[in-house]
């Protein structure tokens, strides 16, 4: 197995060039955050980009490390919700992160569980906590929370504790 | 949840509820099985029985209070989770950790990997009917827990180490306990291997049980011993070394079939490799400080808090969670007992993380379980589950 003997900035440049050639200005930004090249893409092309990155013979990102949702109500409206995908090419030890942002009114996203079967439960988890609607997912139902729940608990507006409780006072220390 | 359809192929299948609380599943897992006699035709898993909203909780806690949450992910090897979290924050703030602290962390992480693998491997043996090895090897796990107790005061949910290093140096008594363990462990493990490894009953029960190909394992996001058992030599300690793992010489054991016996053997060999890493770390233990000079994150000496103004201020700020943290976005992964345990942290400069996502290996690979047990016997499904080492705490977060 090869260890990380390439420079992260080189990988950033290679992937950036390929994405730019293929998708043009749908690549919104490419930067190095700590030891990770991060690419922000337009929502519409994310799935195509993931397929492209997986099928590219040189890059071949065959492994989906993780994905997660993001809710940032303080950002502008078109950046309120976000999704992050982390891809990995194990033999070459390439790792990148793909991010995309969307409006609250349009949380539809094509599923990637057909390219990466491992995304099946990850997408169910993000649906469960944020309410993303993954189109084409075979069984998009709640996974960790109970089925009867009618809200998405990881959104920032939901408080950590039940506001109806009056047996706790944390005025001094805050929570 | 949806019950599986039990009248296809014009046959009448029976539905069996395996779990949520079943003595053989070693945790709170529910699988609704469609059975044709003793053969599993279909399975649907339900998870989330011990969900504790860790990601939400983490958004409301200062950085040094999140360590206790990570304890409760994979509770068979809490120290690895703790260290992973400390290293994530250290990456965010750009802290340099002294070599001695890194080596101490390596010793603790490898000890807990041994403890984790002891649980998994002995439980596979228990599920095939061999109780003796389990009782025998748990003595060595107890000694590991005594070492943890000597170092940090806790046994299971350790909260070991601090952001910036270790909370204290190993005491002479802790070193004596480590030496005692190192002297006796090889003999114990060899005895266990002599009992189980080539045992006819054990081999018949585990070889070709619950196999998975390398390609399928990668597609389902397997990492750690389960992926290595399928023949892929991916190990975070080698691919992206952290905490000075590049200083140590060790092999990555791999299997061929990805069946229960391979998973057992890979974990067995990993214990020997961990043992050798600990040996090297003890032999080459550098001198120096056991924590970095990070006054904003690392609690000062109690004596200084009483006598120095700066120390008192920092003490107050750390305890109240008012430490300044830079804005940023980091991902850090460690090789946990079950695979790549990742922390994806977004900081907006506030007192708590803006978002913290745990990449929990159990959660990701457990979704392959129904695929792996289809067409096998019920008793083999039990073995497949224990050999995958699914830990409910990590699965449900």
Cβ of A36 within 8 Å of Cβ of B396? The answer is no
> Contact, B238 vs B386, CB < 8 A?
no
Mean pLDDT of B177-189: 93
CB atoms within 10 A of CB A72: 16
Q: Express each pLDDT in B368-391 by its tens digit.
A: 999 899 889 988 998 998 898 888
Q: Is residue A174 part of a domain?
A: no
Confidence of residue A111 (pLDDT cuts 50, 70, 90): very high
Of B60, B220, B252, the CB nearest to A118: B220
Rounded to whole angstroms, how far apart are CA atoms B194 and A158?
55
Can you give the CATH number for the domain in which A56 is found?
Answer: 3.30.460.80
In the block, tokens 């190993």 appear at: B170
Q: Express each pLDDT in A12-33 by its tens digit.
A: 888 888 888 888 888 888 888 8
Mean pLDDT of A88-107: 90
Q: What is the pLDDT of residue A170?
A: 64
Residue B229 clears pLDDT 70, i.e. is over it: yes
Confidence of residue A160 (pLDDT cuts 50, 70, 90): confident
Touching check for B168 and chain A: CB below 8 Å? no
Residue B84 clears pLDDT 90, i.e. is over it: yes
Q: Is residue A156 part of a domain?
A: no
CA quadruple B123, B125, B128, B130: dihedral sign: negative
Distance from CA of B27 to the nearest CA of A (A): 15
Q: Is residue A26 part of a domain?
A: yes
Of A65, A90, A118, the CB nearest to B219: A118
Cβ of B47 within 8 Å of Cβ of A173? The answer is no
> How far does CA B34 lie from the centroid of its chain?
32
Touching check for A108 and chain B: CB below 8 Å? no
Q: What is the pLDDT of residue B18?
A: 87
Distance from CA of B85 to the nearest CA of A (A): 16
Q: Is residue A2 part of a domain?
A: no
Q: Express each pLDDT in B264-314 by its tens digit.
A: 999 999 999 999 999 999 999 999 889 988 888 889 988 999 999 999 999
Q: Give the count of Cβ contacts less than 8 A between chain A and B.
A: 101
Residue extents of the structural domains in chain B: 8-46, 54-396
Total domains in the fold of chain A: 1
Q: What is the pLDDT of residue A25?
A: 86
> Contact, B341 vs B8, CB < 8 A?
no
ipTM for this model: 0.89
Mean pLDDT of A104-127: 91
Q: Express each pLDDT in B189-225 by its tens digit.
A: 999 999 898 989 999 999 988 899 999 999 999 999 9
Cβ of B1 within 8 Å of Cβ of A63? The answer is no
- Which residues does B155 contact at the CB level (< 8 Å), separation at least 6? B145, B146, B148, B149
Q: Is residue A129 part of a domain?
A: no
Q: Is residue A153 part of a domain?
A: no
Q: What is the pLDDT of residue B332?
A: 93
Angle in degrees, 0-180, between the axes of helices B99-127 and B131-152, rounded to the nearest 10: 160
Closest chain B CA to residue A84: B344
Touching check for A82 and chain B: CB below 8 Å? no
Q: Express each pLDDT in B327-359 by its tens digit.
A: 999 999 999 889 999 999 999 988 889 999 999
Touching check for B156 and chain A: CB below 8 Å? no
Closest CA relative to residue A71, chosen from B354, B345, B101: B354
Q: Is residue A127 part of a domain?
A: no
Q: Express each pLDDT in A28-74 by its tens digit.
A: 888 888 888 999 999 889 999 999 999 988 888 999 999 999 999 88
Q: What is the pLDDT of residue A34?
A: 86
Q: What is the pLDDT of residue B359?
A: 92
Q: Which range marks the domain in which residue A71 is found?
A: 8-117
Cβ of A66 within 8 Å of Cβ of B342? The answer is yes
Confidence of residue A9 (pLDDT cuts 50, 70, 90): confident
Q: What is the pLDDT of residue A1?
A: 44
> Contact, B348 vs B387, CB < 8 A?
no
Cβ of A144 within 8 Å of Cβ of B344? The answer is no
Of A36, A129, A139, the CB nearest to B331: A36
In chain B, positions 25-64, which contact chain A (CB-CB < 8 Å)? Answer: 47-48, 51, 53, 55-57, 59-60
> How far does CA B111 lie from the centroid of its chain?
11
Residue B67 clears pLDDT 80, i.e. is over it: yes
Using the CB atoms, write b or e for B344-365: b if 16+ within 10 Å.
Answer: bbbbeeebbbbbbbbbbbbbbb
Cβ-Cβ contacts under 8 Å, B239 against chain A: 1, 3-4, 90, 93
Cβ of A160 within 8 Å of Cβ of B60? The answer is yes
Touching check for B367 and chain A: CB below 8 Å? yes
Q: Express each pLDDT in B91-118 by its tens digit.
A: 999 889 999 999 999 999 999 999 999 9
Residue B334, classed as helix, strand or coil, is strand
Cβ of A1 within 8 Å of Cβ of B239? The answer is yes
Q: Is residue A152 part of a domain?
A: no
Q: What is the pLDDT of residue A3?
A: 45
Q: Assign a CATH topology to domain B54-396.
A: Cytochrome-c3 Hydrogenase; chain B (1.10.645)
CA dihedral A97, A70, B364, B13 (to 10 degrees): -140
Closest CA relative to residue B332, chosen from B124, B119, B140, B85: B85
């Amino acid at each position: 197995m090869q260890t990380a003997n390439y420079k992260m900035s080189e990988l950033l440049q290679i992937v950036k060039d390929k994405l730019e050639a293929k998708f043009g200005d749908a690549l919104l930004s490419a930067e190095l955050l700590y030891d990770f090249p991060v690419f922000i893409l337009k929502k519409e092309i994310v799935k195509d980009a993931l397929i492209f990155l997986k099928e590219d013979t040189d890059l071949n990102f065959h492994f989906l490390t993780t994905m997660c949702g993001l809710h940032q109500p303080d950002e502008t409206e078109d950046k309120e919700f976000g999704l992050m995908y982390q891809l990995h090419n194990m033999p070459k030890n390439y790792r990148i992160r793909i991010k995309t942002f969307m409006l609250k009114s349009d949380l539809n996203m094509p599923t990637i569980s057909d390219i990466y079967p491992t995304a099946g439960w990850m997408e169910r988890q993000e649906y469960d906590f944020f309410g993303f609607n993954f189109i084409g997912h075979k069984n998009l139902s709640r996974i960790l929370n109970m089925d009867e729940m009618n809200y998405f608990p990881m959104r920032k507006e939901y408080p950590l504790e039940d506001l109806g409780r009056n047996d706790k006072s944390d005025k001094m220390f805050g929570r | 949840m949806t019950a599986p359809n039990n009248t296809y192929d014009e046959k009448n299948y029976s539905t069996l509820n395996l779990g949520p609380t079943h003595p053989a599943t070693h945790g709170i897992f529910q699988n609704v099985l469609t059975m044709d006699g003793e053969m599993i035709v279909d399975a649907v898993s339900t998870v989330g029985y011990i969900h504790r909203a860790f990601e939400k909780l983490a958004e409301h806690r200062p950085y040094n209070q999140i360590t206790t949450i990570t304890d409760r992910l994979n509770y068979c090897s809490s120290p690895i989770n703790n260290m992973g979290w400390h290293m994530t924050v250290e990456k965010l703030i750009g802290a340099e950790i002294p070599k001695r602290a890194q080596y101490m962390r390596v010793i603790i992480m490898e000890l807990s990997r041994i403890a984790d693998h002891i649980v998994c491997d002995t439980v596979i043996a228990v599920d095939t009917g061999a109780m003796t090895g389990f009782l025998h090897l748990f003595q060595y796990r107890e000694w590991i827990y005594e070492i943890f107790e000597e170092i940090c005061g806790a046994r299971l949910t350790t909260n070991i180490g601090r952001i910036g290093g270790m909370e204290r140096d190993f005491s002479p008594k802790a070193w004596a306990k480590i030496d005692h363990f190192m002297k006796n462990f090889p003999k114990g493990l060899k005895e266990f291997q002599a009992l189980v490894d080539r045992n006819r009953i054990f081999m018949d029960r585990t070889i070709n049980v619950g196999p998975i190909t390398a390609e399928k394992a990668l597609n389902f996001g397997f990492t750690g011993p389960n992926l290595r058992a399928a023949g892929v030599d991916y190990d975070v300690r080698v691919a992206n070394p952290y905490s000075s793992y590049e200083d140590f010489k060790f092999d990555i054991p791999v299997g061929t079939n990805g069946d229960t016996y391979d998973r057992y053997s890979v974990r067995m060999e990993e214990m020997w490799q961990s043992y050798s890493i600990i040996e090297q770390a003890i032999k080459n233990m550098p001198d120096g400080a056991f924590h970095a000079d990070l006054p904003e994150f690392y609690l000062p000496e109690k004596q200084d808090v009483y006598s120095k103004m700066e120390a008192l201020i920092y003490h107050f700020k750390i305890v109240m969670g008012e430490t300044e943290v830079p804005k940023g976005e980091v991902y850090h992964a460690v090789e946990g007992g079950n695979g790549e345990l990742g922390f994806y942290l977004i900081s907006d400069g506030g007192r708590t993380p803006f978002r913290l996502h745990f990449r929990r290996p159990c959660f990701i690979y457990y979704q392959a379980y129904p695929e792996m047990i289809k067409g096998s016997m019920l008793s083999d499904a039990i073995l497949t589950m224990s050999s995958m080492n699914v830990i409910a705490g990590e699965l449900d977060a």
